[in-house]
Structure 1
Amino acid sequence: MKTIKIVSLALGITAFVSCASEPSLQEYYVENQQDNKFIAVDVPTSMFTNAEQLDETQKETLETVKKINVLALAVKDNKEEYEAEKVKLADILKNEKYQLLMKYGSNNRKAEVYFTGEEDAIDEIIVYGYDDTKGVGVARVLGEDMNPQKLMEFMKSLNKGDIDVAGLQGITGMFKTEIAE
């Protein structure tokens, strides 16, 4: 009986350690955000919204989104490093924790959208993509119990001008500058 308990405990510890050793997207982000080769940006939702013009449903939806993390690496002259980072990110996203929503692209350019949580209560939306001429990047939309349908309706607000994307233009401009260098 004692031997069975010891074996069970050893198996449990092994399972825990092997799960803990799988890299997560959070670990990847933290590991690389201070690296000068990467562009890392944390964007609070307040940076790109005009809250006064939102209706109650839009405000409730926005409150479920906490922040957006973006991490990117330009191809520049180091194609090997770019390829290695593509592989690392693809391996991380193979974890069953990340559920694929959609993918699109071609051989030289690709984007994939994943999520974590439940289908009706998403905790994280991940957009991973690469372009062989520009670079590789991952964006994480972090929130709590985000409703995909309400998020889609919220994104349609872009067309109505309820969301001020001017705050994001500086960020996207920075990426263009970094990639062009």
Structure 2
Amino acid sequence: MKQANLSGKKILDCPAGACSFTAVGSAHGHDITACDIAYYHPVDQLKEKGFLDIEHVMYHMEKAKSNYDWDYFGDVDGLNQHRVNALKACAEHMEHSPEKYIPVTLPVLPFTDDEFDILLSAHFLFMYSDRLDFDFHRETMDELLRVTKEEIRIFPLVDLAGKRYEQLDELINYLQQKGCITEERKADYHFQRNANTILRIIK
């Protein structure tokens, strides 16, 4: 989302992982809270594991780089540097503002009803559909809706192989039956194959 659309909004990044969105957004004056299962671990452990994860991903990325669009990162080295910088920014912000990083285990969130205006969820839901079944996605969506007042945005809508989540239409129908307005729109960001659409859910 563009910064102007976030101004004056209370935002939840769920799950946030070890990314720099909360750190960078907070530096620009936005009210952002991050939550993730990884935050049960101390910052130093999160940072150490993060570097190991990046190393592991880059090793496999070199073999599968033809499945990605490199216009944004340039090459694998560019992606590696981006991920390292994001991890460092996240860890530093966690040390200075630990209250902004809440440990959670989906599909349960420790927040009150309608606590956030906007919820952003990236690179988790649907990506692991081989491990997370439809009931998990439905229960998680119910919880995301519970804590969100205005809208939810989910990206991407494909699994790790670049295939559209098979039960996405069923989930969208479920959301519409609950009174939500749904919209699939093109994303400005494009990296993984076929991962170029966002699901926007308006309450």
TM-score, with structure 2 as normaliser: 0.26
Write 1 or 2 for the structure with the bigger share of helix.
1
**Bigger-Rg structure (1/2):** 1
TM-score, with structure 1 as normaliser: 0.28
Write 1 or 2 for the structure with the bigger share of strand.
1
